[in-house]
Structure 1
Amino acid sequence: RGLRAENRVLRGLVLGASEEVFSFNSPIMREMENMAVRVARTNSTVLITGESGTGKGVVARLIHQKSLRADGPFIPVNCGAIPENLVESEFFGHTRGSFTGADKARKGLFQEADGGTIFLDEIGELPLALQVKLLHVIEHKEVRPVGSEQTRSVDVRIVAATNRDLREMVIQGKFREDLFFRLSVFHIHMPPLRERRQDISALIEFLLRRGMLRNGGNSERKILLGSGVGELLVNYAWPGNVREMENVLDRALILSDGVRITLADLPPQITKAAQQPRQDSIQSSGTLREQVRKYEADIILRAIEESGGDRRAAAQKLDIGLSSLYRKLEEFEEQKLAPEAQYGRHETGQD
């Protein structure tokens, strides 16, 4: 244990301090982080699911860094990027002359990950024939290189990820059920950004700091957001999730004057989305008072939705008292501006 700690210190001196870690605000992501840290202490296989760009690879690396294997290798593999005829050789290695072009023996990715973690991203793209062999590795902790009659023991922790519905693939016969059960011993789901809007503002600041540092700037100097930019970024749907946000902010940093990001620095898909009025929040009929009340109801109901139904969290987010929030909900119900079944008087279990 002392040697591991010493290795981490030496690695920090050589490579520099580790990157700043983002702190989540949303309860759903704090729970996810807690689950990742808890499973990291074990040798259990982990399946991470979620849409593209939600940060599944970041969670896989977190699991490795918090595990007893942290000083071992972390080998990320994109299963969908390897040609089908080369997957077995890439995974398990090959002997010299085992196929055309194999002029020397080569270790596979599983042997390279020995003593550490292998991260199998896009596991749903793995051919059925390789799924059988991967199941063998999980069950027997050994690999057999292509062209060899000898097996080699490997001590590897497997973390897999996918944006596909593996249960549906099992039903369709495209993914082995036994492998699915082996991989999903511990399942972590990454929710999309639109379901955890409490993280968006802080995530924007975090990615801007990291982007400035990566581009040679001073991460201590805070870049400003011009009029309307912050609101636009927070309200955008982010279909590409964190990956899309990072690309948008990196582009904006390049186009900006280094002091302030303006609307002109944002890509068309974001500015155009802002020009399309929300049908549920903008009403063209009724008196001014009625329209204002409808708009107020939309803001409050959206805050409750983004807080996962937790009214206390919604009240804190809106900077109003909990009793004020309940009073307004009662008024909305009376004026038929809110569905009673969903936003009635009863508190959630989190309250």
Structure 2
Amino acid sequence: MERRALLRATVLGAGTVALPFTGWSAAYGSAQPAPGPYGPLRASDANGLRLPKGFSSKIVAQTGRRVSGTTYKWHQAPDGGATFAEGDGWCYVSNSEVPAADGGGASLISFGPDGKPVAARRILGGTDMNCAGGRTPWGTWLSCEEVDRGRVYETYPTGRAAKVRPALGRFRHEAAAADPVRKVVYLTEDEPDGCFYRFVPDTWGDLKAGRLEVLCAGPGTSGAFTWASVPDPGGSGTRTRRQVAAAKAFDGGEGCYYANDTVYFTTKGDGRVWALDLTAGRYRLAYDDSLVQGGPPPLTGPDNLTGAESGDLYIAEDNGNMEICLITPDGGVSPFLRVTGHHRSELCGVAFNPKGDRLYFSSQRGRTGKVTGGITYCVKGPFRKRS
């Protein structure tokens, strides 16, 4: 994944990931540094993680090594991820951001009710640079290729074979977010002049066929928006982002989440967060790093995002201080954890288990700075619940 530009404290909402996430209750201004709800970070633990009091960490998988309790060797460069309920436990799905020849695709680890791995397997292979993606309401994982004319694959933690979904367009995909109210899937594009899309399936829950649309708006940072059909979603001649003259360009789309009639997405090239009010049909700039006040912010280079039941948002950094930062619903931003000794890596794949007492994430290149050094962690502790 390309290096992110600085992205600082922000206003965000998040869609349901593995929890009944409540979303953000109000339209906040730019979030500002504040003491974290869990207190300061302690000294590094045995795994090199600095955590607040009451939290503990465990390494659950390392690239090239067998996942504990299984014979499956974990993939290279773990990236975007999500969790799904599975029997009396759950599973964690993780992308592999390497070329097909090196094992690109996605894998999963199944956990028992005690949180111990009980199985692991490949659920997608033969694909290129699977970066982020999104969870669907019907229990599948959309794994997105971050390459020119990349594709979206629908993967099935339940064991069915993965299916390519060409109707969702061929471009440099990053993230996806499902909107069960409007029955569409939003998509970001990681290009300097990328666009923001939505896919309108012919039948909700079935992504084989439908209409790809692109957001159209003026050059400003707020105003009304509309949607226009992309004539050739395959982009075989003219790339999708250049087919509709009125399409609004965004500088390097990244994370994308839906909550409460609003979809939020980040653009790494200019360090911004955008919010689309889907009821009013208006967009606005929810964050710009120039709005941060009072010194250097705790959050830089944000990557994947996830939400907690409390309404807190957890944001993984690409480089920066190698932290997962937390933004509370009242607009305070603070470090939740820091990974030490991983200076050439990035944090990604943040996802809570269905119960909400464990947070999974990966250091994509670990201590070595190479795709063969990936490490996937689990942090357990007294995460805040809905008030």
Scaled by the length of structure 2, the TM-score of the pair is 0.21
* Structure with higher RCO (Cα < 8 A, 6+ apart): 2
Bigger-Rg structure (1/2): 1
- Counting strand residues as a fraction of each chain, which structure ranks higher? 2
TM-score by structure 1 length?
Answer: 0.22
Higher helix share: 1
